[in-house]
Chains A and B, each alone.
Chain A
Amino acid sequence: EVQLVESGGGLVQPGGSLRLSCAASGFTFSSHWMHWVRQAPGKGPVWLSRINLDGSSRSYADSVKGRFTISRDNAKNTLFLQMNSLRAEDTAVYYCAGDFRNSWYFDLWGRGTPVTVSS
């Protein structure tokens, strides 16, 4: 089955760190760009970051640049998001998304992992 499964979310204090993981299966992970997208309750999705096939190219939204780092392990079919200096406004459900056309589209989404930043 083609799927993405996120993990690593939870409750963290402001200023803290979390590392999200996204396990891919059912498709050739190393052939596709991958993205992280988040969605706060009742709000639209917000794109956060993209990584190319081998990790040599990464891009970020201004809101997370310098605080979040995207990476991938193609040998383990896993995508990561290291989140540092977390703020209350980072509270959201975090989705990983597979871009099967390598063209800024989100063909496959995981179920998401919730992140709450609160003291």
Chain B
Amino acid sequence: QSALTQPASVSGSPGQSITISCTGTSSDLGSYDFVSWYQQHPGKAPKLMIYEGYNRPSGVSNRFSGSKSGNTASLTISGLQAEDEAVYFCCSYAGGSTVIFGGGTNLTVL
């Protein structure tokens, strides 16, 4: 059960778009559509931003979008805002009734 691979950090200026990748294997992320993304601000619990790879829960801005191709999932944030600065984690069902997370990507809004 190895963690999913995410870049350690990404950055962008207000108004720009950024994309965070999340890479797994054909045994986990590549085999299932149960992919989710979470936003975590310092000292807070994670918040669900995307589920089923591309769906947004009620209340999440449509500036957040998700996709998946093969063993890689992506989170795109458009129209970056200062409040988007946080750590983002991807997550995938890994078979055998287990789940794995990514190591997290620190998003800096310049």
Please tell me which one of the listed residues A43, A61, A63, A111 contacts residue B103 in the complex, with CB atoms under 8 A apart.
A43
The distance from the CB of A41 to the nearest CB of chain B, in whole angstroms, is 11
Please tell me which one of the listed residues A43, A47, A50, A103 contacts residue B100 in the complex, with CB atoms under 8 A apart.
A47
Given contacts A44-B103, A45-B46, contact A105 B51 (CB under 8 A): yes
Please tell me which one of the listed residues A44, A101, A103 contacts residue B104 in the complex, with CB atoms under 8 A apart.
A44
Given contacts A44-B101, A45-B101, A59-B98, contact A106 B1 (CB under 8 A): no
Q: How far is the CA of A115 from the CA of B101 in the complex (A)?
A: 20
Q: Is A107 an interface residue (CB 8 A)?
A: yes
What residues of chain A have their CB less than 8 Å away from a CB belonging to chain B?
A: 35, 43-47, 50, 57, 59-63, 95, 101, 103-107, 109-112
Q: When A and B form their complex, which 7 residue pairs have the shortest distance between CB atoms, in order from nearest?
A: A59-B97, A109-B45, A47-B99, A44-B104, A105-B51, A44-B103, A104-B34
The distance from the CB of A92 to the nearest CB of chain B, in whole angstroms, is 13
Instruction: Establish whether residues A47 and B101, one from each chain, have CB atoms under 8 Å apart when the complex forms.
Output: yes
Please tell me which one of the listed residues B48, B96, B97, B98 contacts residue A106 in the complex, with CB atoms under 8 A apart.
B48
Instruction: Establish whether residues A95 and B45, one from each chain, have CB atoms under 8 Å apart when the complex forms.
Output: yes
Sampled A-B contacts (28; CB under 8 Å): A35-B99, A44-B89, A44-B104, A45-B38, A46-B101, A47-B99, A47-B100, A50-B97, A50-B99, A57-B97, A59-B98, A61-B1, A62-B1, A62-B98, A63-B1, A95-B45, A103-B51, A103-B52, A104-B36, A104-B99, A105-B34, A105-B36, A105-B91, A106-B38, A106-B91, A109-B45, A110-B45, A112-B45
Please tell me which one of the listed residues A47, A61, A62, A101 contacts residue B51 in the complex, with CB atoms under 8 A apart.
A101
Contacts of A59 in B (CB 8 A): 96-98
Given contacts A44-B103, A47-B99, contact A107 B57 (CB under 8 A): yes
Interface string of B22-50 (1 = CB under 8 A from A): 00000000000010101000000111100
